[in-house]
Amino acid sequence: MKVLLIGATGNLGLRLVASLLTHNHSVVAYVRSSTKLESLLPESVFRQITVVQGNATDAAAIKRAILDAGCDAVVNTAGVAAVAPWAKTDLPVIFRAVVDGVREAGEERKRPLRVWFLAGLGVLHYPGSEVMLSSYMPIFLAHRTNHALLASLPPNTLNWSMLCPSTMTPEAADMTVPTPPSKSGKLIASATTPPAWQDSGMNAGRYDTTLEQNAEFIAGDLAGGEASQWSGKAVGVISEGK
């Protein structure tokens, strides 16, 4: 697919450039600074992508970038959720702008786009309940606001999925294409609740994954085209074997 990657200079965004190229997607990176992105990628990788400069709070520019390049999919990794409920974050403003831009582009091309958003573990439900984990531990609450926005959209406006990882750490500092297989294995995923939940003992650390694993997960899902089992879902992930 042709993928607009918003936030390509970030921790996850950089790994997504490499994973998307490895899966033979075309990458259009939407970033505030092309120079910054160029400085963070090997020259051989930077040469394989198209760059559009813009602000992730600018819905009209996002719409234009999608339509000008003819993208069929979008991944948004721009904006970061704050830990504390009272801390300031521009993630909800960015998130709304991306939703609006992508929705309007879908209307204009008469077909909704496939979109991956990022959230966190707290958006997932405690297994067997309708209660989000962030009700027990109220951190990173911007993700809840964002999920509520997606859930409120009329059908057939966005073909969205929301990846809900816990802490993600890097495996390597350099981006290579093709990407090597992850040292931590593949991710196992489930919709709405965390996969492989254990009611006894400590669950928290079990859901730590790597940036490379999550990038591979999204790029692999988009390789299936528009038919994804994760469409319209919040998706929990865990490393295989955990």
Ligand X SMILES: NC(=O)c1ccc[n+]([C@@H]2O[C@H](COP(=O)([O-])OP(=O)(O)OC[C@H]3O[C@@H](n4cnc5c(N)ncnc54)[C@H](OP(=O)(O)O)[C@@H]3O)[C@@H](O)[C@H]2O)c1
Sites of contact with ligand NAG (CB under 6 A): 23-24, 32, 55, 57, 112, 156, 159, 226-228, 231
55 binds ligand X (CB under 6 A): yes
As given in the structure block, the two tokens for residue 103 are 């929705």
Among 24, 32, 35, 174, binds ligand X (CB under 6 A): 32
85 binds ligand X (CB under 6 A): no
Pairing of strands 73-76, 168-169: unpaired
Helices (H), the chain: 11-22, 34-40, 43-46, 59-69, 91-109, 142-151, 211-222
User: Helices 211-222 and 11-22: crossing angle, nearest 10°?
Assistant: 40
Q: Which of 208/226 has CB closer to ligand NAG?
A: 226
Contact segment (CB under 6 A) with ligand X among 71-79, 98-106, 187-195, 197-205 equals 71-79
Tokens 């994954």 -> residue: 209
As given in the structure block, the two tokens for residue 23 are 């899966």
Which residue's Cβ lies closest to ligand NAG?
231
Contact segment (CB under 6 A) with ligand X among 73-81, 126-134, 172-180, 231-239 equals 73-81
Q: Which of 56/238 has CB closer to ligand X?
A: 56
Q: Return the one option of ligand X, ligand NAG, none that residue 231 interacts with (CB less than 5 to 8 A, by type).
A: ligand NAG
Among 22, 25, 45, 79, binds ligand X (CB under 6 A): 79
| Minimum gap (Å) between residue 201 Cβ and ligand NAG | 35
Q: Which of 114/147 has CB closer to ligand NAG?
A: 114
Q: Which of 159/214 has CB closer to ligand NAG?
A: 159
CA distance 217 to 188: 9
193 binds ligand X (CB under 6 A): no
Assign 3-class secondary structure to 105-118.
HHHHHCCCCEEEEE
CA distance 96 to 198: 34
Pairing of strands 50-53, 73-76: unpaired
| Minimum gap (Å) between residue 214 Cβ and ligand X | 8
| Minimum gap (Å) between residue 95 Cβ and ligand NAG | 13
CB-based burial of residue 133 (10 Å sphere; 0-12 exposed, 13-18 middle, 19+ buried)?
Answer: buried
CA distance 77 to 16: 9
| Minimum gap (Å) between residue 24 Cβ and ligand NAG | 4
| Minimum gap (Å) between residue 33 Cβ and ligand X | 6
CA distances from 79 to 37, 70, 197 (A): 16, 24, 28
Site of interaction with ligand X (CB under 6 A)? 7, 9-13, 31-33, 36, 55-57, 77-81, 91, 94, 118, 120, 165, 167-168
